[in-house]
Amino acid sequence: MNARFNLNPSLSRRSFAKVAGLMGLAAAGQTALGARRVTSGLSGRPEYRNHKPDIMSYRRLGKTNMMVSTLAAGGADNYGVGHQVEDDPAGFRDALERLLDSGVNLFDTAPASAYRTLDDYAFLCTSANRDKVFISSKVEEGTPAECRADVEQALTTLGTDYIDLVHIHGAFGITGSDYSEAMAVFDALDELRDEGKVRFLGMTSHSAAKLTGLLENYADRVDAIMGFYSPSVNWYWADEPLDTWCAVFELAKTKDVGVIAMKMLLSAMHTWDDRIGRLENDASAWDLIKPFIDEGATHAQACIRWAIANDNIDSAVVGMRTLAEAEEDLGGTDATHTRDIMRERPGQGARVQGIPDPFTRVTTLYLGDTPAGASGRIFIYSMSGECITRRDLHPGRRMVSWDGCDSRGARVGAGTYLVRLVSGGHVATGRVTVKR
């Protein structure tokens, strides 16, 4: 089992205990809830994990002070009906490692059997990884005692002493303006927080009205929300206007409640081809994502970039089951950030940059100032000048992945390799390092 969390990474565990003790004395006479609120916001400093600002963007998740990656990994299958982790467990592990290498630090689990994330995400709670990540989970409909038991079970399955954020899933128990059942569950989860097993509490919902009522009346009880945010209303769960959701997220920000967006890739219950058709046939949705498509983004990347463009959203959670899906989604983390990465650096000439670099399994080659719409070819050379493989660059693309294999599919040895892009009369060069 892992050690208890340190709310301030720059503070030693001994200093943390001392400060927490002093704060407990200062809070004498307050309610237990009040004392907990002070402790959970210790020092008010941002908390960074797996911080790689050169390749990933981060935002503060409201009053939690957790600096979360703008792309989060979720449990639902977002790339086709019936695609489960057990279909390719090694591929799923590769995807998780790629996300870690790329600075992703928020991983969202769920108890539902369809998601199957608790067992598979236990890898993230090993001693080598737990301090790199924020783990969120959920409790589904049940009594307060049953919800508490669900969290205890999740702790055991994940192999961790604590969960950073626990959501009441689907805003269950809320009928009209009656939030008493949900608040009773929050009371049970607060007990777990007092015991150090849960850090922060949240609520997920496809209902803007339920989250609005929560924020208006119980903002002191909730640290973060996860809400629906999709460019298209052309599917069965999208029954409230987009403007309504924007208002929910804006309200959350005025209450200093963190915001995690979900469903920007529509429903995992539809095939990906079906969802692309819905996006392209929905004129309003197409107007929202087309500017990103025109920049060379795929449909998935465009939806993610569109979501993150909303400053009231701290992180976009997306299900990723394979390395290819993780690669694609990482290309959509932040349009502005991606352009900054690809921009030609003064005094250095046209360049190709690998991210991550050095890398173990796969890197993405970002291709400097490649002319928009141009096609080309990328050549990778050993330091002795031997061309070991090549990749085609399709029109409109400015990034391509390399898995560290030569043209025969054999993995190359550790070392530095030269990368050369040729596109018409345009040439860009760079270096990447493979580590084994």
Tokens coding 366: 């970002």
Question: How is the beta sheet containing 58-60 ordered, strand by strand?
Answer: 47-48, 66-69, 58-60
Q: In whole angstroms, what is the distance from residue 58 CA to residue 181 CA?
A: 34
Predicted local confidence at residue 55, as pLDDT: 85
SS3 category, 166: strand
Judge if the upstream peptide bond of residue 358 is cis by omega within 30 degrees of 0.
yes
Residue 408 DSSP code: T
208: left (phi over 0), alpha (psi -120 to 50) or beta: alpha
Predicted local confidence at residue 384, as pLDDT: 74
* CB 64 within 8 Å of CB 223: yes
Q: In whole angstroms, what is the distance from residue 388 CA to residue 394 CA?
A: 20
* CB 105 within 8 Å of CB 55: no
Predicted local confidence at residue 85, as pLDDT: 61
Within 102-228, residue ranges assigned H as helices are 118-121, 144-158, 180-194, 208-218
Tens digits of pLDDT across the chain (436 residues): 443 333 333 333 333 333 333 333 333 333 333 333 333 444 478 999 999 988 898 999 999 999 999 999 987 766 665 556 666 778 788 889 999 999 999 999 876 544 556 677 888 999 999 999 999 999 988 899 999 999 999 999 899 999 999 999 988 888 888 999 999 999 999 999 999 999 999 999 989 999 999 999 999 999 999 999 999 987 777 778 888 999 999 999 999 999 999 999 887 777 778 888 889 999 888 988 888 888 778 888 999 999 998 889 999 999 887 888 888 899 888 534 443 433 333 333 446 878 778 888 778 787 765 555 556 788 898 887 788 998 877 665 667 778 889 988 889 999 999 888 877 667 778 888 998 7
State phi, psi for 148 to the nearest 5 degrees: -60, -45
Predicted local confidence at residue 80, as pLDDT: 61
* CB 163 within 8 Å of CB 136: yes
Predicted local confidence at residue 19, as pLDDT: 33
- Please report the domains of the chain, with CATH numbers, ordered by start residue: 1-42 (no CATH), 46-338 (3.20.20.100), 345-434 (2.60.40.1930)
Q: In whole angstroms, what is the distance from residue 114 CA to residue 83 CA?
A: 10
SS3 category, 175: strand
CB environment 23-42: b (16+ within 10 A), e (fewer): eeeebeeeeeeebeeebbeb
Predicted local confidence at residue 92, as pLDDT: 81
SS3 category, 270: coil
Predicted local confidence at residue 41, as pLDDT: 45
* CB 257 within 8 Å of CB 219: yes
* CB 109 within 8 Å of CB 138: yes
Q: In whole angstroms, what is the distance from residue 127 CA to residue 304 CA?
A: 31
117: nearest Cα among 133, 98, 138: 138
* CB 404 within 8 Å of CB 414: no
Tokens coding 79: 């790339």
Which stretch of DSSP H or E encloses residue 401?
strand 399-402
What is the separation of C-alpha 63 from the centre of its chain, rounded to a whole number of angstroms? Answer: 18
Predicted local confidence at residue 229, as pLDDT: 93
Q: In whole angstroms, what is the distance from residue 264 CA to residue 391 CA?
A: 31
Within 27-84, residue ranges assigned H as helices are 32-40
Q: Give 282-334 as a DSSP string.
A: -HHHHHHHHHHHHTT--HHHHHHHHHHTSTT--EEEEE--SHHHHHHHHTTS-
